[in-house]
Amino acid sequence: MKSVTIVGGGLVGGLLAALMSQRGYRVAVYERRPDIRKAEISAGKSINLALSDRGWKALRLIGAEDEVRNISTPMYGRKMHSVEGEVTYQAYGLEGQAIYSVSRGGLNAKMLEIADQSGNVECHFNEKCLNVDFDTNELTFENTQTGKITHVKSDLIFGSDGAFSAVRAAMQKTDRFNYQQEYLPDGYREILLPANEDGSHKLDPNALHIWPRGRYMLIALANQDGSFTCTLFMPFDGNPSFDSLQTPADVNRFFAEIFPDFYAMMPDVGDDYFRHPLSSLAIIRCYPWVKKRVALIGDSAHAIVPFYGQGMNSGFEDCSVLAELMDKHGDNWDKLLQEYQVLRKPDGDAIAQLAVDNYYVMRDYVADEDFLLRKKIEKKIFEKHPDKWMPLYSQVTFSHIRYSEAYETGQMQDRIMDKVMERPDIHENWDSNEIEQLVLSLWEKQQTAAHAE
C-alpha cells in the first residue's frame, strides 16, 4: 500500500483522509490541535458553514451525505432586516434549492470519525509540523504536550493545514514560489443568540439572516439546538468600530441604534460580545501548489473570506477534482498533481475575488430596491430560459461550473443588467415581454462578441 501523510486534520484533511483510504492508500493525519471529537463543541465557536452543491458532491464520494444532512439545517433564502424592522426575503435559487447551515466543529468531528472508520487511517493530534524535506518526502513534527520529535516519510504529502499552513511556509522558502497575503480592513466577532425558553428559534431557521448597514453587517445562521451563530462584521478602526466598542454598555448602545430588532431579542448582547475573540479576514494566493510529491489543498492553497459561503465547498471540490484525476491517471502522481494545480489555481483565484465582491453585495446592496429588482429580472429569465441564463449565485452555489467560468459569465451578465436597469421605465415594465427580449438580445450579442474574440 502506498502511504500518504496529511498535515492538518480539519474539514478538508478529514475528507481527504477518508477519500485516500477508500482508494487503497495508507493514510496518516497529523493535526496541531487536540482531537476535536474529545472537546466540547458548542454553537457559536466559529462561523457556521454553508454547505452547497460542490460540498455535497465531495461528501457523496465518501458516503457521508446522509450523516451530514442529519446535522444540517436548510436555508432557502436570505432575510434582510432593515433599521426600521422591516424584513424582506430573497430566495437563493429555484424552488427547493437551499444551502445548509452546519456547525464547523460538528462537521469536522464527523469527517474524522468517517476517516477513522475507513480502516486505513491513523490520526495523530497535538503534532506541530516543524519541517518539510521536499527531496526525501520527510516531515518533522513536535508533540506540543510531550516535546517528542517524530520524523515521518511517505510517498505523498498533502498540506491541508489552513490559511497559515506550515507546509506552505516551507514551500515559501523554495525558489520561484509566489505568495500574496491580503487582509480586509474589516474584522469579525461572533455572538450567540440563544434559543427561546422552550428551545425554539427566535428567527426563521430556514433562512440566512442579514442586517446590512453599509460598513457594518450582522448575519445569523441557525443551529439545531434553537440558537443562532451570529457574526458582526465591521471596521477595526474608526467610530463606531471594533476599537470603539470597549465595554458591554458601548456594545448595547451600538446594537440598540444599528440593529434595534436584534437588540430587542438579545438585550444582554454586550455581555456575550466579549466572550468571543475578534478575528481578521485574510485572502491567501500562492503558486505553485505542488513541489515534487508535496501538494497544497484547501485553505493552505487558496484561503478566502467567507462571504460566498464557499471556503469549505471549494476545499471539498479540490478533493473531488483529485478523485477525478485519480480515475484518469491512476497512480501517476507526477502527472496528476501537475494537472491538479493547473486546473484549480484559476478557480481558487476566481472564488477569492467572488467572495470579496459578494461582501459588498451583502452589506451594501441586498436591501436596495434596484438590486432586488435586478435579481427578480434575472430569476425570471433563468426560470424561462435556463439554457441561456443562470444567475451568478446559482452558478457558484447550485452547479459544478468552474469558478473561473462562473466569474467570467457573471461579469458578462453584470454588463447586460447594467444596461437593462438604465431604462427609465424599468420599475413599471420589468415583467414585460419587451424587457425579457431585451435581456436575451443583449445576451446573444455578448455571446457573439465573446466567440469572435
Alpha-carbon span 351 to 318, nearest angstrom: 13
- The per-residue pLDDT string of the chain (453 residues; one tens digit each, 9 = 90 and over) reads 699 999 999 999 999 999 999 999 999 999 999 998 887 654 434 568 999 999 999 999 999 999 999 999 999 999 999 999 999 898 998 889 999 999 888 899 999 999 999 889 999 999 999 999 999 999 999 999 999 999 999 999 999 999 999 999 999 999 999 999 999 999 999 999 999 999 999 999 999 999 998 888 999 999 999 999 999 999 999 988 999 999 999 999 999 999 999 999 999 999 999 999 999 999 999 999 999 999 999 999 999 999 898 999 999 999 999 999 999 999 899 999 999 999 999 999 999 999 998 888 777 776 678 888 999 999 999 999 999 999 999 999 999 999 999 999 999 999 999 999 999 999 999 999 999 999 999 999 988 887 776
Alpha-carbon span 27 to 14, nearest angstrom: 11
Q: Which residues pair with 179 in a beta bridge?
A: 286
Among 246, 177, 186, smallest CA distance to 216 is for: 186
| Secondary structure (3-state) at 221 | strand
Q: Note the CATH architecture for domain 3-39+48-70+103-181+281-358.
A: 3-Layer(bba) Sandwich (3.50)
DSSP, residue by residue, 81-136: E-TTS-EEEEESSSTT--EEEE-HHHHHHHHHHHHHHTSSEEEE-SEEEEEEETTT
Q: Which helix (H) or strand (E) holds 445?
A: helix 433-452
Write the CB contacts of 44 (distance below 8 Å, at least 6 apart in sequence).
190, 191, 192, 223, 227, 229, 276
* Domain range summary for the chain, segments of one domain joined by +: 3-39+48-70+103-181+281-358, 368-452
Q: By the 8 A CB rule, do 122 and 20 touch?
A: no
Roughly what angle, to the nearest 10 degrees, separates helices 403-421 and 369-384?
A: 120
Write the CB contacts of 117 (distance below 8 Å, at least 6 apart in sequence).
none
Give the three cell numbers for residue 177.
Answer: 514560489
Alpha-carbon span 295 to 337, nearest angstrom: 7
pLDDT digits (tens, 9 = 90+) for 334-393: 999 999 999 999 999 999 999 998 888 777 776 678 888 999 999 999 999 999 999 999
Q: By the 8 A CB rule, do 122 and 75 touch?
A: no
Alpha-carbon span 194 to 199, nearest angstrom: 9
| CA 163 to chain CA centroid, nearest Å | 13
Which alpha helices (H) appear in 238-292, and where do they start and end?
A: 248-258, 260-265, 269-273
DSSP, residue by residue, 340-359: HHHHHHHHHHHHHHHHHHHH
pTM equals 0.94
